Amino acid sequence: MTLRTHRKKSVSRKSAKKKKRTNFWKWIFFLAVLLLAFGGYHYQEALLFYFSFKSDKTYKEERIAQARIYQILKAHHDLVFGFDVSQFQGLIHWEAIDSVEHQFPLQFVFIRATAGLDKTDALFNENWQQAKEHLFIRGAYHYYRPNENSTLQAKNFIQVVHLSKGDLPPVLDIEKLPDNQSIDSFKVGLKRWLKLVDDHFHVRPIIYTGEKYYNDFLKADFPEYTFWVANYNFFVENIKEDWLFWQFTERAKINGIESKVDLNIYNGTPKMLRYLTISNEVIE
């Protein structure tokens, strides 16, 4: 009697790799479905609201963005809402601006005044005057160019901006790192700008930046300053305690402005916002 040995067919490396890839994409698909389900459930009230009144919209991504804006505004209804503009928004019809979704009043606005050592925003004077005439609490900001002289940048801002009683403190907008100097030297320049502007207007400026930039480069070295922080992350839903202002989207739609706009939340009540404003009669 002859015994025959049967050997199992070996699985080729190619088949094993294919199986691993299939399993990988199955997991990706599962996580994507889970993420969508969570997002849809979490924002269900906002989505239902927005779809019911904005059914003519065609892009799902845009609908989700607008639903998130609505949800965040509703969650912070006891705080104060505002926006920020520059020449990139074009000519603004200030008389048409009052709220978002006819539910959330807009009470303050930050307006770009200058950039670098020699740039004046083309619409600053117009926006600055119109904001006051239409009773918005207004603030002026300077876009800082890290590779340009900090003293000349401060002088540029001081020459262009004239603050009055009821205006917000000046804002330093810093978003980029320098190419031609160390981080330590760069921070010295920022502090020089802040001091020069503080000495001139007799009010401590606010610093605007992104959350990562804030945590990595500024938070530890500028403890005496307050921050206006930008974070558009879908999963960030509440303003943090150490943020004076939160810029939570760049995709808001506001009557009177044709392009998309940044929306902001002040971390306090309307009365507290008034306390933040300048109390002097006029600052030249």
d(CA 278, CA 134): 18
Encoded tokens for 115: 């950039």
Query: Which residue type, as a one-letter code, is found at position 155?
Result: K
Q: Which residue has the tokens 């015994």?
A: 3
Run of H or E including 50: helix 44-53
Among the listed residues 95, 118, 133, 175, the single catalytic one is 175
Strand partners, 99: 105
- Per the document, the length of the chain is 284
Beta strands in the chain (DSSP E): 80-85, 99-100, 104-115, 119-120, 137-143, 163-164, 171-173, 206-210, 226-230, 245-252, 261-266, 282-283
Instruction: Answer yes or no: 133 catalytic.
Output: no
Among the listed residues 84, 121, 167, 211, the single catalytic one is 84
Instruction: Answer yes or no: 216 catalytic.
Output: no
Residues designated catalytic: 84, 175
